[in-house]
């Protein structure tokens, strides 16, 4: 399951010797700021030995969720924003604790996270302040299992959000 986080920006609170607040840039129109949830389960199949009437029962326990946060800048990214993500990587490498607030207007929704990029690629197509690139994506995952997704689904008409104004993009009901 994935949801679009919306139009407000995210924030990373870096705790170490000094607390630092880093506001993450909004993703651009072709990029998306996405949350995805992976349930972590223990599953076991129980089979009976009656060959005339074989049955298999599946037992499952959900231990919690790993939550991923993807910040995609597939059209362009400013050099200063690349430096923001680079500073987060340096602080994490130095042993700082990263706490992500997916939307700053919902600051009760906080998750301790770690960067989850196997690679970072920035293919510059042209130079300048808004250099075009071919797919900058930065990703975080929760450091620990989360027992609750901390979602509140809004159902009122005024809470409906069209985050990118794209007619081809499906309507998203604000989920935080």
Quote the pLDDT of residue 169: 47
Quote the pLDDT of residue 175: 45
User: Cβ atoms within 10 A of the Cβ of 152, count?
Assistant: 12
Quote the pLDDT of residue 92: 92
pTM for the full model?
0.70
For the purposes of burial, counting CB atoms within 10 Å of the CB of 77, is it exposed (0-12), middle (13-18) or buried (19 or more)?
A: buried
- pLDDT, tens digit only, all 176 positions of the chain: 445 555 577 888 999 888 888 888 776 555 567 888 999 999 999 888 888 888 889 999 999 999 998 887 766 667 777 888 888 999 999 999 999 988 887 778 899 999 998 666 665 555 555 555 556 778 899 999 999 888 765 544 454 555 555 444 444 444 44
User: Cβ atoms within 10 A of the Cβ of 157, count?
Assistant: 6
- Residue ranges of domains in the chain: 2-173
Strands 20-23 and 56-73: unpaired
Q: How far is CA 163 from CA 27, 30, 31, 36, 128, in A?
A: 11, 11, 11, 17, 27
Quote the pLDDT of residue 39: 93
């Amino acid at each position: 399951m994935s949801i679009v986080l919306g139009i407000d920006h995210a924030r990373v609170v870096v705790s170490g010797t000094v607390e630092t607040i880093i506001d993450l840039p909004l993703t651009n129109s072709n990029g998306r700021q996405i949350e995805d949830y992976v349930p972590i389960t223990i599953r076991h199949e129980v089979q009976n030995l009656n060959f005339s009437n074989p049955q298999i029962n599946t037992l499952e326990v959900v231990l919690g969720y790993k939550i991923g946060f993807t910040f995609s800048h597939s059209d362009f990214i400013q050099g200063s924003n690349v430096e923001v993500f680079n500073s987060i990587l340096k602080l994490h490498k130095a042993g700082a604790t990263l706490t992500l607030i997916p939307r700053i207007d919902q600051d009760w929704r906080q998750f301790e996270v770690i960067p989850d990029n196997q690679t970072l690629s920035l293919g510059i197509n042209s130079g300048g302040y808004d250099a075009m690139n071919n797919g900058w994506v930065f990703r975080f995952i929760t450091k620990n299992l989360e027992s609750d997704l901390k979602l509140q689904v809004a159902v009122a008409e005024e809470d409906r959000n069209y985050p990118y104004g794209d007619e081809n993009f499906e309507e998203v009901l604000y989920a935080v």
